[in-house]
Amino acid sequence: MNYKNEIAKRINAITNVEVSSLEEYIEIPPNTELGDFAFPCFKLAKEMRKAPPAIAAELKEKLAEDEVISKIDVVGGYLNFFINKSAFAKNVVTEVLAKGDDFGKSDIGAGKNIVIDYSSPNIAKPFHIGHLRTTVIGGALYNMYKAAGYNVIGINHLGDWGMGISKSIAGYEMWKDEYTFDENAIYSILAIYVRFNKLEKEDPSMTDKARDVLIRLENKDEETTKIWKWIIDISLKNYAKIYELLGSKFDSYNGEAFYNDKMDRVVSMLEEKGLLKESEGAKVVEMPEENMPPCIIITSAGTTIYATRDLAALLYRIENYDFEKALYVVGSEQSLHFKQVFKTLELMGYEKYAKSCEHIPFGLILDENGEKIGSRKGGKLPTLEEILNESIEKSLQIIEEKNPSLENKEEVAKMVGVGAIIFNDLSNNRIKDEIFDWNQLLNFTGETGPYLQYTYVRTNSILRNANVDLSDINTDELLDKEAIEVIRKLSEYPDVVLSAVNKNEPSLISRHLIDLAQCFSRFYNEHQIICDNEDTKKARVALSKCVGTTIKNGLSLLGIQTPEKM
């Protein structure tokens, strides 16, 4: 039962204010002794032309207490509702058991397309930790929108064009005989790129060599294009290992090069609408009304730029996906760029789609001392493969210490190690900087991924040891304070998922799962689950199963797997 909706419908019958608006106003009091739900009557002060306490008193007079709402109180300008705990427990536990893996899913996005642009590494370089956040946040959003019924298109907009890749190709042509290109070929290509850049600082003619490669690529020179495709293939094979570990999903790998033949159209459209202006040799779209610097479309050197490419990509996505939303999961430092691109799209006549575009920014990754990762030790960024492997190895060491006889130790260590990295990234608001501290993220008792996985495993263990039939549950055995707190958290989960989708904020799910696990821990510590009374045992085991189901579902949305044993 949707209690907020039930309460909203009752208030609607008296006030005629829309149910959807009323439902948004309803709150859950921080102190449950004040009530299960609270309606702030100041929200109706304008419509009813009365003081909030008077509105609360009037509504209480007209609202009836029944089998759903057992009590209604007035506290200042708030109307507090106490629900029938017996019906509440039965409704929630029955729903979670019945829906199982589908608990928390909805169909609000049915028939609507969502485009999510995320990860997007530059080819010819290994995945470094700097790409972790866009990949993990984007992956969670992909899963969350799917769970809300949307048709999701995940796009990996590869950095596969420009002077960067041209330097790698130029260096390969000069030094390929000095390197080996086995299964770790990506590291040889990186070494070539680093060597080229170092030499370029001493010898400017190296830049001309890279520029010559780019011209050959633009002219579709057969041999140069062959090397370019080979490097892309090597890069994608390296990324595939990372994506498999992280559970990342993409429906398109159309990178920058895909839009090479689509940018002239953007320039022509801007010229036809009189939007392109000359500025210091460049062609720009001016935005004085928005108090933003001009959006450069053609540089003073006569070349296109990121904005041109992003506009070409947007036109392609509009025409091929007709999206409800287009999300760009990119660091916060790119905020101005996306504001300019979306505004330019609007000026081109695509106002509806421009307003459906959203930049999803996020903070930096900092070490335990608050320094940017890689800012020391010569500025070398660790590769993501190194980080993930280290986390898996540390997890395996913990398992060897705590449960050396565990089956599938390596597989469990992989789930725990990778899950710890992902959860650490998604445990706080994405706009905040992420603190990367090994001592914290692999802690089995803190607010971490391993803690949630361990809680799920504990619920599984209860189910195995109890070995009871859960088809006929007397939920009146779950009316104690600790059980009701768990049930309350279970009941909130579907709304939390929708709120996380609406705000593009995976951490809402992370924090809710932690709250649920902590509530269950209190319940577990206060009450013997496998007890002598059969009705009590079945009810408590059923509640444990509901907790395990919800944690598994929530972690799955975040891209984290749950082992059956640990």
What distance lies between CA 444 and its chain's CA centroid? 23
Backbone φ and ψ for 110, nearest 5 degrees, come out as -55, 130
pLDDT attached to residue 46: 86
Is-contact 328 360, C-beta < 8 A? yes
- Find out if CATH 3.30.1360.70 is the number for domain 3-83: yes
Domain extents for the chain?
A: 3-83, 113-322+334-360
Pick among 3.40.50.620, 3.40.30.10, 3.40.50.2300, 3.40.50.720: CATH of 113-322+334-360: 3.40.50.620
Backbone φ and ψ for 359, nearest 5 degrees, come out as -85, 125
Q: Of 206, 345, 208, which is closest to residue 270 (Cα–Cα)?
A: 345
Is 131 a catalytic site residue?
A: yes
Tokens encoding 146:
């799917």
CA 338/CA 328 separation, integer angstroms:
9
Tokens encoding 497:
């998922």
Q: Which of 85, 128, 414, 552 is catalytic?
A: 128
Inter-axis angle of helices 185-202 and 163-175, nearest 10: 100
CA 156/CA 252 separation, integer angstroms:
6
Q: Is 225 helix (H, G, I), strand (E, B) or coil?
A: helix
Which DSSP category does 501 fall into? H
Inter-axis angle of helices 409-426 and 507-526, nearest 10: 120
Segment 208-216 long-range contacts (CB within 8 Å, at least 24 positions apart): 209/170, 209/174, 210/163, 210/166, 210/167, 210/170, 211/163, 211/166, 212/170, 213/166, 213/167, 213/169, 213/170, 213/173, 214/162, 214/163, 214/166
Q: Is 542 helix (H, G, I), strand (E, B) or coil?
A: helix
Stated length of the chain: 566
Decide whether 3-83 matches 113-322+334-360 in CATH topology.
no
Is-contact 345 357, C-beta < 8 A? yes
Q: Which of 4, 85, 125, 325 is catalytic?
A: 125
60: left (phi over 0), alpha (psi -120 to 50) or beta: alpha
Question: pLDDT digit of tens for each residue in the chain (566 aa)?
Answer: 788 899 999 999 999 899 999 998 999 888 888 899 999 999 999 888 899 999 999 999 999 988 889 999 999 899 999 999 999 999 999 999 999 999 999 999 999 999 999 999 999 998 888 899 999 999 999 999 999 999 999 999 999 999 999 999 999 999 999 999 988 899 999 999 999 999 999 999 999 999 999 999 999 999 999 999 999 999 999 999 999 999 999 999 999 999 999 999 999 999 999 999 999 899 999 998 888 999 999 998 888 889 999 999 999 999 999 999 999 999 999 999 999 999 999 999 999 999 999 999 999 888 777 777 654 344 466 788 889 999 999 999 999 999 999 999 999 999 999 999 999 999 999 999 888 888 888 888 889 999 999 999 999 999 999 989 998 899 999 999 999 999 999 999 999 999 999 999 999 999 999 999 999 999 999 999 999 999 999 999 999 999 999 999 999 999 999 999 98
Q: Of 558, 564, 490, 544, which is closest to residue 147 (Cα–Cα)?
A: 558
Is 372 a catalytic site residue?
A: no
Is 337 a catalytic site residue?
A: no
